[in-house]
Amino acid sequence: MHTPRTTLCWLRRDLRLGDHAALAHAQGAGRVLAAFVFDPTLLTGLAPDDARVALIWHSLLEIRQRLRALGSDLAILYGDPAAAIPRLAARIRAHTVFAARDYEPAARARDERVAALLAADGRALELVKDQVVFDTGEVLTREGKPYTVFTPYARAWRARLSPADTGSLAVRLAPDAFLPWRDDEMVSLATLGFADNPIGRAHAGEAAAAQRLAAFEAKIADYHAARDYPAQGGTSQLSAALRFGTVSIRALARTALAHDGAGAQAWLNELVWRDFYQQLLWHFPQVEAGSFKPAFRTLRWPGEEAHFEAWKTGQTGYPLIDAAMRELLQTGWMHNRLRMVVASFLTKDLLIDWRRGEAHFARHLLDFDLAANNGGWQWAASTGCDAQPWFRIFNPVTQSQKFDPDGAYIRRWVPELAALDARAVHAPWQAKALPDGFLLGRDYPAPIVDHAAQRERALALYGKQP
């Protein structure tokens, strides 16, 4: 009697069952058991109520429920993947483990270890493309080298794009497609040392991601006009879903390509930026530790610790900066325009090392992605490839007046300024009159630095570099 071949699908940043590259490949090679491993090295140091852990957990529960309805299960494990995955593969006699390729240096090292251990037991690890539209070797210069400037990369990316690149990778959700299984591991949020988090739970799962995508598609035509205004809600709010793979990047690209107009094209461009940063991290892994541009690797940042604390907690005295930083702490999210503004403020007004800001974002962003976060910070700090010129410095007041003209966003996150009018709310210290009873320095901080003076200091600091 023929025994069906068995495969193991190792979920990582692809927490869904639909349009799933690793699952589709695994089903083509045998009956599948899906598994996820909580790696203690990645959990160490996180807050007990970290929203990202809750997002992962509830996404896994949604997958588990659907697989159990098919007579299978999701194996949820805890431990070093280099031990857990080969052990599970041996237990179910899987000849191949399928997983989506990851581009981060630590993940690449992990996968090399797992592959070596599997090979020693006569098994294989097959990594497939899923996180990006184009893989790291698919969009290269004529010389076969990686692009380090976005505009020609985007041009080549779009020229190469075909329907096959964004087509859905079908997964057959039928009992005979999955291995009969009942998970005997007793992993839970509590045993992992974590508590539930309503923010993570609200963003969890494939169904929630599909709802967010449908809601955004209804307004995608206006994306180019609304995307820079944080009070308007013009963005997709899908960054966490894309980060954890509760929706595929192909689904997002298909949505953009299904619409004509500037809004859809602008949103597609954001996906191109994402591919660009992923391939940069792959080809230049040293950017994780320091500046892409050698000239800035020895730059000495003279910023003050008290200023860093004020920036982290939203107490700088610059309302737009403080609103954005408070939203990050309370929700785990920040509008992309504001990510650029607060990063510029930290590096070029406060003269603090961009890596400290990058690490703060890494701790608090629900959608934290190493490639995108690193790329964004190095862009703002002018230390990255194709970054903004070092002499371009955002004025936090001008940015506030331009992108939050009536102060609605500021008033939401800095309620102590709610009574200020639309002019004063952007720069209370410049106001000719403030509401009765409001005292600057007591009810809201005075600016911790003078932007004009700090701009000159930043220009001198950057200008000294070779």
Binding residues for FAD: 223, 235-239, 267, 270-277, 367-369
Helices and strands in the chain, H and E counts: 22, 5
**Distance, CA of 360 to CA of 81 (rounded, Å):** 27
**Distance, CA of 72 to CA of 453 (rounded, Å):** 64
Residue 326 makes CB contacts below 8 A (sequence gap 6+) with 313, 314, 413, 414
First vs last C-alpha separation in the chain: 73
Report, as residue numbers or ranges, the catalytic residues.
270, 273, 301, 336, 354, 377
Measure the CA dihedral 170/171/173/177, to 10°: 130
Taking a C-beta distance cutoff of 8 angstroms, is the pair 14, 22 a contact?
A: yes
**Distance, CA of 280 to CA of 251 (rounded, Å):** 23
Collapsing DSSP to helix, strand or coil, 161 comes out as coil
Taking a C-beta distance cutoff of 8 angstroms, is the pair 82, 42 a contact?
A: no
What pairs with residue 146 in β-bridges? 140
DSSP assignment of 60-71: HHHHHHHHHTTT
Please identify which residue in the block is written with the tokens 């307004």. 219
